[in-house]
Amino acid sequence: MIGEEPVIEEPGSTILIVDDEQIGRDVLKGLLIKQGYRLAFATSGQEALDKARELTPDLILLDVMMPDMDGFEVCRRIRSDPILAEAPVIMVTALDDRKSRLSGIEAGADSFISKPFDGMELQTQVRTITRLNRYRRLLTANRQLENKITQLSALYDILSSLNSTTDPDDLLESIIQKTKELLNVERVSIFLWDENKAGLYPDVVPVERDLASSKAKTDIPVASEVADRAFHEGVPMLVQDIDSDKSVSENCHCEECSLRSPTTSSYGSANGTTKQSLMEKELLIRSVLCVPLKGKQKIIGVIEAVNKREGRFTEDNQKLLEAMADNIALSIERANLYHDLRQAEALLRRQNADLRLSVSQKYRFENIIGNSEEITAVLKNAEQVALTDSTVLIYGETGTGKELLARAIHHISPRSQKNFVPINCGAIPKELLESELFGHERGSFTGAIRRRIGRFEQANEGTLFLDEIGDMPLNLQVRLLRVLQEGVIQRLGSNDDIEVDVRIIAATHEDLAGLIEKGEFREDLYYRLKVFQLELPPLRKRKSDIPLLINHFIAHYNEKLGKQITGLDDSALDILYNYGYPGNIRELQHIIESAMIRCKGDLITPHDLPDEFITPRLSSKETTFDSLNIPAPRNKEELNAARDEAQKQVELLFLKEILSTASGNVAEAARRTGMNRSWLSELISKHQLDLSQFRSVG
């Protein structure tokens, strides 16, 4: 068709020629094509509008007289179209009269050219107008670029400020004020979702200084339907004219929509609070831009901008607010998390203070049960040394309360507000003990994936309790000696000295002097530790304390087990009084706990005591091979069977004897017998022995 002539792809400005007559189009084409313009053609008003929207030309040469839609109407539609409104239009007409020119000016034409054409005049006008249009576009683009730079700079400032405060209220107020300035709007609000109330609530009232205090909070939901939809649909919502948008105005009964009218209404709250009293003045809502705040795992709320001060909300405004929203959401989550952590930290500090008070009361000397001469003398000496920083060495059999005494010393010492850090040198494998005590750097050995602080650093300015010091390997004894002499440590994998201020309390059940003679303990370390020595007597040497301890444990387990046992009958008390207690106080505690579990009445009887008190322990005869109950073998098969049974019974007798003397402590039993601990553990498993029958706990 004639009206579908192809666009001539020449460099330069694009000109759309609109004429229903072929001759008119050809004349204009002949005058302009050699000037380097790109030409496009339309034969009707509607085609002109369609091609203009497609091409956004630099100039439109528009014939006035066309059958379906004249040039004046086409020009008016061009000027009312947001995309085409700035396009230059030259009216081409054979009607060179004043009325036609006035009609063209009213329609929005930039100039007129009369038929027949003056080629020079046409080319001059076209050249001038296209150049002016190009300059105008450059200026517009430059202004847009400057605006974008300004916006990006402001956006950068906002995003930078998000990390400047951890107070949720200050953060939200800062975000709101800066966003309001950036978008040039009358109001910005942030609504956060309240799980308990199942609604969007303003965490900070909108930032008008002449409105209610920006810090004031309300339990009255004021989020608009626009905000509600943005939140639940998870997409930005833009309403350019809230009065004409029926999808909002007909269904919305929110504060913002009601504020468009002069009247205000109550929220229906119990106290009769009104929107007017909240906002203190009306805000007539014209347009709203609302973007959801997407946190790490869910949408936490929305940010809403109301009423552009100039023009309309643009696509750039929406993109800008979207770019901010995700960062704002994360900052709000971070600030709220920090706030929660601060509250949890404060609660933890209070609980820690209460716990320290409870512990200090628990481990006071008056809570060490006993009034025998033996224990009284020990406690008197312990109170004296507690007020100093001197190193203390505590001797005592297993279960005599060495750690309890060490804690009591710490809790009345000047270091009582700092850490008490215990470590059992015999309970930790030798290859790990060094790292436990001194810490290590990342990569110092296989599996050291991060730096670890050792017990010495944990106990800095406090007390380090080294239980079973006799089990410490010789190489670590050298390092411990240096700490005592110089007050410095080095982590594994590092040559850097770290100063530590630690009080050492050591404890052992072994004869360290005997270990020195065997070459298993350093003599210089021994004398460094033996600044002040305390020796806890075994329970068999302080029998007058047994009734006191029994009453203490009965009271403790009455509360724990929910019972009301008043004591022991005379027979049970006599049995416990005359028992030897190889496991000392721990064993007595375990005996009482076991008896109270069995006891049906209010007094513990001998039948409530553990089985070893009902069936006496092995006598000396029973711990010899004479006690083996094996019939005489009569053939080779019976001999092999007897040999296996004899081995089994001998192993069982052996295990029972050494575990009884070591109170169920496998490591101690291995040391006493000079046997491999792993082999001993395997033998115990083989015979399915329950260590609890030999061991006392507490």
Q: Write phi, then psi, for 607 (nearest 5 degrees).
A: -70, -15
- pLDDT above 70 as % of the chain: 79
- Highest mean pLDDT pick, 157-166, 252-261, 639-648: 639-648
pLDDT score, position 256? 44
Q: How far apart are CA 291 and CA 325, in angstroms?
A: 7
Q: Is the pLDDT of residue 399 over 70?
A: yes
State yes or no: pLDDT of 278 exceeds 80: no
Q: What tokens were used for 264?
A: 């205000």
Q: Rounded to an integer, what distance in angstroms lies between the CA atom of residue 698 and that of residue 369?
A: 14
What whole-number distance in Å separates Cα of residue 698 and Cα of residue 691?
Answer: 15
How many CB atoms neighbour CB 342 within 10 A? 12
The tokens describing 569, both together, are 């009958």
Could you tell me if 94 and 114 are in contact, meaning their C-beta atoms sit under 8 angstroms apart?
yes
What's the CA gap between 43 and 25, in Å, rounded? 9
Q: Are strands 288-294 and 111-114 parallel, antiparallel or unpaired?
A: unpaired
Structure tokens at 344: 């949890």
Domain 2-139 CATH class label: alpha beta
3-state secondary structure 253-299: CCHHHHCCCCCCCECCCCCCCEHHHHHCCCCCCCCEEEEEEECCCCE
Q: Which of 5-19, 72-86, 174-188, 585-599 has the lowest mean pLDDT?
A: 5-19
Using CA atoms, how far apart are residues 400 and 422, in angstroms rounded to an integer?
Answer: 16
Tell me the pLDDT tens digit for each residue of 518-550.
999 999 999 999 999 999 999 999 999 999 999
Q: Which segment of 155-164, 201-210, 551-560 scores lowest on mean pLDDT?
A: 201-210
Asked if the model's pLDDT at residue 167 lies above 80, the reply is: no
Residues of the chain with pLDDT > 90, as a percent, come to 30
CB-based contacts of 102, cutoff 8 Å, min separation 6: none
pLDDT grade for 583, boundaries at 50, 70 and 90: confident
In angstroms, the first-to-last Cα distance of the chain is 104
Beta-strand pair 185-194/299-308:
antiparallel
Beta strands 14-18; 38-42: pairing state: parallel
Mean pLDDT is highest, among 202-216, 240-254, 295-309, 352-366, for: 295-309
Q: What is the pLDDT of residues 372-384, one digit of tens each?
A: 999 999 999 999 9
pLDDT digit string (tens) for 96-148?
Answer: 667 777 887 888 888 888 888 788 888 888 888 888 888 888 887 777 777 76
Query: What amino acid occupies position 531?
Result: V
pLDDT value at residue 151? 65
Cα 496 → chain centroid: 32
**What does the pLDDT look like over 444-453, one tens digit per residue?**
777 767 888 8
Indicate the angle between helix axes 666-673 and 677-686, nearest 10 degrees. Answer: 120
pLDDT of residue 274 exceeding 70, the answer is: no
Q: Which segment, 6-10, 192-196, 253-257, is predicted with the most confidence on average? A: 192-196
Residue spans of alpha helices (H) in 108-259: 119-161, 168-183, 225-233, 246-249, 255-258
Calpha distance 345→324 (Å, rounded): 31
Instruction: Tell me phi and psi for residue 217, to 5 degrees.
Output: -115, 155
Sheet containing 503-508, strands listed edge to edge, beginning at the edge strand earlier in sequence? 420-424, 463-467, 503-508, 392-395, 532-535
8-state DSSP, 538? P
Q: Which two tokens stand for residue 511?
A: 């004869």
Question: How many helices (H) and strands (E) are present in the chain, helices listed first?
Answer: 25, 19
pLDDT of the residue at 273? 37
Report the candidate in 389, 388, 457 with the shortest Cα–Cα distance to residue 423. Answer: 457
The answer to whether 225 touches 251, Cβ cutoff 8 Å, is: yes
Residue among 427, 486, 478, 490 nearest 454 (CA): 490
Chain CA centroid to CA 662, Å: 47
Q: Residue 331 in contact with residue 162, Cβ under 8 Å? A: yes
List, in sequence order, every residue forming a beta bridge with 535; answer none if it has no partner: 395
The pLDDT of residue 312: 75
Question: What would be the CATH architecture of the domain defined by 540-612?
Answer: Orthogonal Bundle (1.10)
The answer to whether the pTM exceeds 0.85 is no
Q: Do 202 and 222 meet the contact criterion of CB atoms below 8 Å apart?
A: yes
Q: What residues contact 421, with CB distance under 8 A and at least 6 apart?
A: 455, 458, 459, 462, 463, 464, 465
On the question of a common fold for 365-536 and 540-612, the answer reads no
Classify domain 365-536 by CATH number. 3.40.50.300
Radius of gyration of the chain (CA): 47
pLDDT tier, 16 (very low <50, low <70, confident <90, very high otherwise): very high
pLDDT on residue 364: 59
- Residue 553 tokens, joined: 């444990």
pLDDT in tens, 334-343: 777 777 777 7
What pLDDT, on a 0 to 100 scale, did the predictor assign at position 373?
92
Paired strand residues for 534: 394
Amino acid identity of 310?
Answer: E
CB burial of residue 273 (10 Å; 0-12, 13-18, 19+): middle
Alpha-carbon distance of 166 to 176, in angstroms, equals 16
Does pLDDT of 11 surpass 70?
no
Return the CATH superfamily for domain 162-266+274-338: GAF domain (3.30.450.40)
Average pLDDT over residues 81-90: 87
For residue 534, the Cα-to-chain-centroid distance in whole angstroms is 47
Non-local (6+) Cβ contacts of 511 within 8 A are none
DSSP collapsed to 3 states, 335-402 = HHHHHHHHHHHHHHHHHHHHHHHHHHHHCCHHHCCCCCHHHHHHHHHHHHHHCCCCCEEEECCCCCCH
Q: How many residues does the chain have?
A: 698
**H or E stretch covering 652:** helix 636-661
pLDDT (tens digit per residue) in 216-261: 444 444 456 777 888 888 888 888 876 666 555 444 444 444 434 3
Partners of 202 in the beta sheet?
A: 191
Mean pLDDT confidence for 361-381: 80
Domain boundaries, the chain: 2-139, 162-266+274-338, 365-536, 540-612, 625-693
Pairing of strands 288-294, 299-308: antiparallel
Q: Across all residues in the chain, what is the average pLDDT? A: 79
Q: Rounded to an integer, what distance in angstroms lies between the CA atom of residue 202 and that of residue 194?
A: 10
d(CA 155, CA 151): 6
